[in-house]
Chains A and B, each alone.
Chain A
């Protein structure tokens, strides 16, 4: 499964668990408008660390906080090689 499809399925899974309505995800979907709250993002990041083996936010260099879904995917694609 590609990095992107792993991420999409985690978004969908967590949205279902948190009983939130997930917006259609495209690269320019703003994260804040996708229907998930902070806790949902926290859970997604924790689970992606398990499934992809990386946490881009823990990297030594400072990262820009992602604003769009595309930013978010790019952060992971850059590390999950």
Chain B
């Protein structure tokens, strides 16, 4: 007889009722309460065996729904906040979603295309007879952006997502906080860690940074995680001393020496660690020595559960934390290398005994932890009648790691007049980018240039690639 699938709830209650709480902007919820209460208005059983979209604006509601649905839903699709409505039909079709959980009327994707069951959730536990019985190994779908801006559906399960969690007794005195959204890989890792050992303070995009730090302090934060961009903002806030964590974690972007030194100065008592992970490859390592980059000894380390190597200049990772693949039409594009490792697309340079990240292969730009594909922005710029071609590239930036800039070649003025002056065109192009792209994808600067290099293969030359 096959063994009963072990759910997230089974896992966090294995050693007894969980002692921790989840804290949102409006207050906290004790995890132990989930044993006899629910946020789903008594409708959990209707979702059993279904492919469920989690469409929440509030992170606390999402966090509770995930804990309720693992082992119950056949599939959970963690919709990221700010996902453009135009991409929803493809996500719903790709995931064969037949139910959704939502927390506001504004946020009920699939209504117009007649998705089956719709359940309203609130970040408040109400007593209901709940059957916390695990009946399936839930597939977790995380979204990452693709070349055209359409999201890819990355397949994980509880085992792959918790592969990097250390075994050990729960440590209820640990209070995590994260600047991330838990529906993205980096935030989800912190959520799973916190559920297994302690409490978690969740952020809210509408809340000022100082308010979040104050809430984290009030909850007694001991461990806190964010991108280097989040941390630069903390150091610039003048409010870094609001919290006194003993563990500070950076991930999602290259951690340079300046931000590592800045955090060590701000939190001299804390361990400052930077970690590398990606949605597709999972967690690779954590570095605690306060230096940028990572020790070359991590490469090809025999016997390590996470096998790292560099091939063709990029970091490859093979571990139980690897995603299983992409769901739907993108199945074939999953970056699986020949030895079954996942190619992260992150370029590595080894200098002496240390490896350093150089940026992304293929021109992908990382703006404050968010992936930007140049092609998506170029398509918007190129749709302008006076643009012949454009090239979007990264410019290093001390605040967000990188910003996007665009070089634009204009069509020849044909002598009949009518081509507006360059300054006016730059403004028009910026305006059309702002209308159709997320703010972090809008170029910080547009330069009109006489020409752009095209490679022998007829492709736009990308110096970064």
Contacts and interface: CB of A to CB of B under 8 A. Distances in A.
Are A and B associated in one complex? Answer: yes
Interface of A: 17-18, 30-32, 38-39, 41-43, 45-47, 50, 55, 57-58, 62-63, 65-68
Contacts of B275: none
Interface of B: 208-210, 229-230, 232-233, 235-239, 257-258, 261-262, 367-368, 395-400, 403, 405, 430, 434, 439-440, 444-445
Contacts of A18: 439
16 contacts: A17-B434, A18-B439, A30-B237, A32-B238, A32-B239, A38-B230, A42-B368, A42-B403, A45-B398, A45-B399, A46-B395, A46-B397, A46-B445, A55-B398, A57-B398, A65-B236
Given A42-B400, A46-B405, A62 B258 contact: yes
Interface of A is mostly: helix
B397 A65 contact: no
Contacts of B434: 17
A7 B377 CA distance: 27
Contacts of B208: 32
A55 B403 CA distance: 14
A41 B399 contact: yes
B237 A67 contact: yes
Contact of B444 (A38, A47, A68): A47
Nearest to B210: A32
A43 to B, nearest CB: 4
Residue from A39, A47, A65, A68 with most neighbouring chain B CB atoms (10 Å):
A65
Contact of A47 (B238, B258, B445): B445
B397 A45 contact: yes
Contact of A46 (B210, B261, B403): B403
A43 B399 CA distance: 9
Contacts of A66: 236
